[in-house]
């Protein structure tokens, strides 16, 4: 079974440029998550989708970040414009779904963003 797929794996851009990250979750997983992982820290949730609906985007900086999950499968996370402080690893995860706190999340390899 294929795991969570993310692309690109690495991205280098100049500040003020836009950037987009793509995630394909595990087949059949209804819940999709985007996390931000700064160097030397644990991941922090940016947004969570249940199917097409963003049910928790309280940590997403909405002035420059946006996300979508059309048709409830793939998802795209966008930053426009990027700032130096956005340099980090962006992780996508998926799970079967539901509100249970024991629903295991499976993570992709992440996209490492460097903003120059």
Partner 1 sequence: GNSVTQMEGPVTLSEEAFLTINCTYTATGYPSLFWYVQYPGEGLQLLLKATKADDKGSNKGFEATYRKETTSFHLEKGSVQVSDSAVYFCALTEGGYNKLIFGAGTRLAVHP
Q: Which is nearer to partner 1, 15 or 30 (CB)?
A: 30
In the block, tokens 């079967």 appear at 96
Q: How far is the CB of 4 from partner 1 (least distance, A)?
A: 7
Q: How far is the CB of 77 from partner 1 (least distance, A)?
A: 16
Q: Which is nearer to partner 1, 56 or 68 (CB)?
A: 56
Q: How far is the CB of 3 from partner 1 (least distance, A)?
A: 7
Selection from 28, 66, 25, 60 nearest residue 46 by Cα: 60
Q: Which is nearer to partner 1, 9 or 15 (CB)?
A: 9
Triad 45, 101, 8: Cα angle to 5°: 35
| Residues in contact with 56: Cβ distance below 8 Å, sequence separation at least 6, in sequence order | 45, 47, 48
Residues that bind partner 1 (CB under 8 A): 3-4, 31, 35, 40-45, 48, 56, 91, 93, 95, 98-110
């Amino acid at each position: 079974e294929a795991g969570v797929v993310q692309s690109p794996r690495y991205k280098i851009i100049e500040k003020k440029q836009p950037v987009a990250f793509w995630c394909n979750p595990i087949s059949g997983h209804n819940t999709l998550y985007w996390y931000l992982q700064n160097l030397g820290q644990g991941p922090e949730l940016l947004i969570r989708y249940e199917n097409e609906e963003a049910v928790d985007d309280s940590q997403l900086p909405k002035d420059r970040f946006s996300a979508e999950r059309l048709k409830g499968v793939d998802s795209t996370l966008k930053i426009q414009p990027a700032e130096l402080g956005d340099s980090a690893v962006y992780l996508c995860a998926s799970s079967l779904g539901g509100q249970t706190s024991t629903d295991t999340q499976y993570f992709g390899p992440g996209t490492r963003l460097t903003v120059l």
